[in-house]
Amino acid sequence: MMGLMRWPEPALDLFDDLAALSDAVDRAFAELGFPAGALGERGLLEKGVAPSFRIAEEGDGYHLALDLPGVQREALEVKCLGDTVTVEGEWPEPALGEGATAWRQERPRGRFLRSVSLGEPIDPTSASATLQDGVLHVRVKKAPEAKGRRIPVRS
């Protein structure tokens, strides 16, 4: 009869493995001449910044709503090309009171770029964008060729 055996503890935690991989990639980039921190403060573990959004089809067009709290109108650029709407901008660094120290930071900050493919051509000349209460509303109509048309059948 066998006695109980102790289960070996894992040598490394998954996050330790990821951190080691990130360090190795940082070293490889450094050997190629990239400056330290080229991949961000936390290397491969750097969290990307992208606003959440909703897309709704409205009649002959689309309405995109992107959540951008704290972003100023002047810090935004909206582009339409083909079937894609692209929004670029920058979240400001949150201000702290004098002598205050942030203990945890979960608010987005820094530059962002979000491209959304709508799956069919859009008319860029019909596009409009408004920023209201921290939500960017982009409305764009489908291109005439995307709408289709009824073709009469003759005899």
Domain boundaries, the chain: 14-44, 48-93+109-147
Cβ-Cβ contacts under 8 Å for 93 (sequence gap 6 or more): 109
Task: Report the alpha-carbon distance of residue 24 to residue 30 in Å, rounded.
Answer: 10
- Answer yes or no: are the C-beta atoms of 140 and 61 closer than 8 Å: yes
Residue 50, helix vs strand vs coil: coil
Residue labelled with tokens 């709704």 = 56
DSSP tag of 45:
G
Is the overall model pTM greater than 0.75, yes or no? no
Cβ-Cβ contacts under 8 Å for 28 (sequence gap 6 or more): none
Task: Report the alpha-carbon distance of residue 155 to residue 151 in Å, rounded.
Answer: 13
Task: Report the alpha-carbon distance of residue 41 to residue 113 in Å, rounded.
Answer: 19
H or E segment to which residue 86 belongs: strand 84-91
> What value does the mean pLDDT take over residues 96-118?
83
Q: Is the dihedral of CA 50, 51, 56, 59 positive or negative?
A: negative
Fold adopted by 48-93+109-147? Immunoglobulin-like (2.60.40)
pLDDT in tens, 20-61: 787 787 777 777 666 555 555 444 444 456 788 899 999 899
pLDDT score at 42: 46
Is the pLDDT at 137 greater than 60? The verdict is: yes
